[in-house]
Structure formats: structure tokens, C-alpha cells
């Protein structure tokens, strides 16, 4: 029986990936369809993807598959053959090719079975996932965005919206998709007579969101076909003006794809225009936030002086501190002021500093 998971350290795998000379293509795809035995489906796909040196994250559930991966370019044709043949519902499934890609997006294959490919919090047997809104190609997106009777609704998290979004799009401020769905219904209750266009990174969230809006009585519901990734690609191919402004946040090592040159976000530490996300270098924090080059140098890649100071302490002391405090949320949120919060010190250290 082959080993169906990785057994090498992340550090070694990342070093191997960075040393690769063969070009890779970063691609994402999803499909909602019924999978009777997700584990068997996952195991078979893992064996075949592993042979092709596919890296990335793939989630399989009874409701379908969701993947963000990188594939060696020499293996890309074989990868498509494997994927398209793995299930009738995946034959010729749309593949969203990354816009900005150095091939260094992932370094290991993680293929997991989950309850759902998108955690939505929906607990209603009458919900029909197949009753989705109408798909909008790039040219129709541009037509509808200037329509006063149309609302564009961003179904991504607040930190994604912050660095880039469609012109005049409505933000549904939340940390999770499961929070967004009921919030969107509540926020748009007085707009049921308007066209509602939903969008997300690659289409998976807005497709489910469009079905949820129709489930809650909204009739004129649409969603951007292929999400921001496919919209930007088609708009550029067709010479259309780009109506998405800024950067598209992506969930891999790149943390973003530049769509337009506009920088609409600001450094969370000094406030200058900046849209570069990073994770705090202090492993006891690892907060996701926006940091400019000047603040990166000043705080040594950390989110605060507290984390910078902690990072300089001996590793054993760092581990002791982490063990004695809760992890908490790791995403910057202006409303919660997480970047200004202080670290909890171990009780013994508190007592010592009070003397």
C-alpha cells in the first residue's frame, strides 16, 4: 500500500521547490457534484497527482472538489488527462490559470477530505445548491457594472476586499464565508428589485452564495463566471477595460495577483499606500497583515515591537510564551484593532516585571 501523505518536513520541501528549475503552472479549479465515497476518490487522485509532482491544496467532500495547485509544465497535459478522466463531472472542467506566476506558489501536495469544500454553515435540507444565479462572462460584467439597477457584492473576506475589488462593490465585512451568507441576505433585503451580481476569487464561493440568495427570495441573481481570475484573463484577452481595481488576494505563497496598477490599501503600521500582505515573522503570532518595505525593515517582518522583541528571545523562551497564551484570530481586522493588541505574558514574567 503506497503512503498517501507527505512524510518530509516543510522546510526541506520548500527548499526543494525553490531549487527547482523546471517551470510550473499555478492553476485552480472547483466543481460541485456528488461524490459517494470521498475518501476513495481522494486516495486515487492523490496517487496520480503525486506521480505528476503536483503541489498544492485539494479539498474533497461529498459536495465536490476545490483545488489550488501548481503543476510542472511538462506534466500539464498529463495532469489534465488525469483530472478530466477522474469523474464525468470533471471532464473539461474550467481551469483558472494564474495571472502572475513564478511557479513558486506551493511546495507540497495536501489532499484532504472535508465535510464541505466551502464551509458555509448552511443547515437547511431544502437548500438547493444547483439553483445558482446566471453566469456572467467578462463583457457582460462590464455592461452590468455601470447599470444603476445592479449591485456588485464581494463574497470574499475583508482582507481580500481591502487590496482590490470591483468598482463600487459592496463589502460584506466578515472573517468567514459562513458569517457572510446571512449578512449578505440581511444587508440586501431592501434591494430585492435590483440585479445582484456576486463575485469571489475563482467562483466557488459566489456560486454557492448565488444559490443561497435565490433560496432567500432574491430573483435577479448573477455571479461572475470563473471569479476575478477568469474575469481578468478574459478582459485582457478581449481588450476590455478592467473594472476590478487593485490586487486579487490569493491563498498561496504569492498572496496576490496584480490586476491593475492601483494601490488602494495602506500599510497597517505607518499608513502609506501599500497592498503587500505578509505574516508576522514571530511564529507565536503569525498575524496576516499589510506591511510596507520600510516597516518590514523597522519591525524585522513583525507586526509590532512586542513581536519583534519576542522574536529576539531564545527559542525555548519563545515556546514557553506561546504555550501559556491562547492563539486567537490571526487575521488583521481594523474593526477589532488586532494589530494594536498586546501579547499576554506568562504569569511568572508578569510578576517579575511588576517588582
* CA–CA distance, 180 with 174 (Å, rounded to integer): 6
pLDDT tens for 198-226 read 999 988 999 999 999 999 999 999 999 99
The domains located in the chain, with CATH, are 10-113 (3.30.70.100), 134-246 (3.40.250.10), 277-354 (no CATH)
pLDDT tens for 71-85 read 999 999 999 999 999
Question: What is the DSSP track for 98-119?
Answer: -SS--S-S-SSEEEEE-S-SS-
Residue 313 — very low, low, confident or very high, per pLDDT cuts 50/70/90? confident
Integer angstrom CA distances of residue 211 from 62, 188, 192: 18, 15, 14
Q: What share of the chain is helix, strand, coil (3-state, %, to 5)?
A: 35, 20, 45
Catalytic residues: 200
Q: What is the number of other CB atoms lying within 10 angstroms of the CB of residue 283?
A: 14
* CA–CA distance, 139 with 317 (Å, rounded to integer): 57
pLDDT tens for 338-348 read 555 444 444 44
Q: Report pLDDT for 353.
A: 42
Count Cβ neighbours within 10 Å for each residue of 2-30 and write b for 16 or more, e otherwise: eeeeeeeeeeebeeebeeeeeebbbbbbb
pLDDT tens for 158-168 read 889 999 999 99
Are 31 and 90 in contact, with CB atoms under 8 Å apart?
yes
Whether the model pTM is above 0.85: no
Amino acid at each position: 500500500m503506497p503512503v498517501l501523505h507527505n512524510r518530509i518536513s516543510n522546510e526541506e520541501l520548500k527548499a526543494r521547490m525553490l531549487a527547482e528549475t523546471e517551470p510550473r503552472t499555478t492553476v485552480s479549479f472547483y466543481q460541485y457534484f456528488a461524490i459517494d465515497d470521498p475518501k476513495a476518490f481522494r486516495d486515487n487522485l492523490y496517487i496520480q497527482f503525486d506521480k505528476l509532482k503536483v503541489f498544492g491544496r485539494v479539498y474533497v467532500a461529498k459536495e465536490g472538489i476545490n483545488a489550488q495547485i501548481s503543476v510542472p509544465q511538462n506534466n500539464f497535459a498529463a495532469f489534465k488527462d488525469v483530472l478530466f478522466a477522474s469523474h464525468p463531472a470533471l471532464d473539461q472542467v474550467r481551469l483558472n490559470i494564474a495571472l502572475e506566476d513564478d511557479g513558486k506558489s506551493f511546495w507540497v501536495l495536501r489532499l484532504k477530505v472535508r465535510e464541505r469544500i466551502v464551509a458555509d454553515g448552511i443547515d437547511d435540507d431544502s437548500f438547493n445548491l444547483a439553483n445558482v444565479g446566471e453566469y456572467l462572462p467578462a463583457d457582460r460584467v462590464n455592461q452590468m457594472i455601470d447599470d444603476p439597477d445592479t449591485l456588485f457584492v464581494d463574497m470574499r473576506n475583508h482582507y481580500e476586499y481591502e487590496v482590490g475589488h470591483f468598482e463600487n462593490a459592496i463589502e460584506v465585512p466578515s472573517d468567514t464565508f459562513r458569517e457572510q451568507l446571512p449578512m449578505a441576505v440581511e444587508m440586501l433585503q431592501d434591494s430585492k428589485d435590483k440585479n445582484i451580481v456576486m463575485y469571489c476569487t475563482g467562483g466557488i464561493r459566489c456560486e454557492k452564495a448565488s444559490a443561497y440568495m435565490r433560496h432567500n427570495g432574491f430573483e435577479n441573481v448573477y455571479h461572475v463566471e470563473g471569479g476575478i481570475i477568469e474575469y481578468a484573463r478574459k478582459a485582457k484577452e478581449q481588450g476590455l477595460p478592467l473594472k476590478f481595481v487593485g490586487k486579487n488576494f490569493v491563498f498561496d505563497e504569492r498572496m496576490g495577483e496584480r490586476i491593475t496598477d492601483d494601490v488602494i490599501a495602506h500599510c497597517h503600521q505607518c499608513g502609506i499606500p501599500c497592498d503587500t500582505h505578509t505574516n508576522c515573522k514571530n511564529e507565536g503570532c503569525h498575524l496576516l497583515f499589510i506591511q510596507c518595505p520600510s516597516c518590514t525593515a523597522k519591525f524585522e517582518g513583525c507586526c509590532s515591537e512586542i513581536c519583534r522583541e519576542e522574536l529576539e528571545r531564545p527559542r525555548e523562551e519563545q515556546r514557553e510564551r506561546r504555550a501559556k497564551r491562547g492563539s486567537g484570530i490571526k487575521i488583521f481586522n481594523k474593526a477589532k484593532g488586532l494589530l494594536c493588541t498586546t501579547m499576554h505574558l506568562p504569569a511568572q514574567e508578569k510578576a517579575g516585571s511588576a517588582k
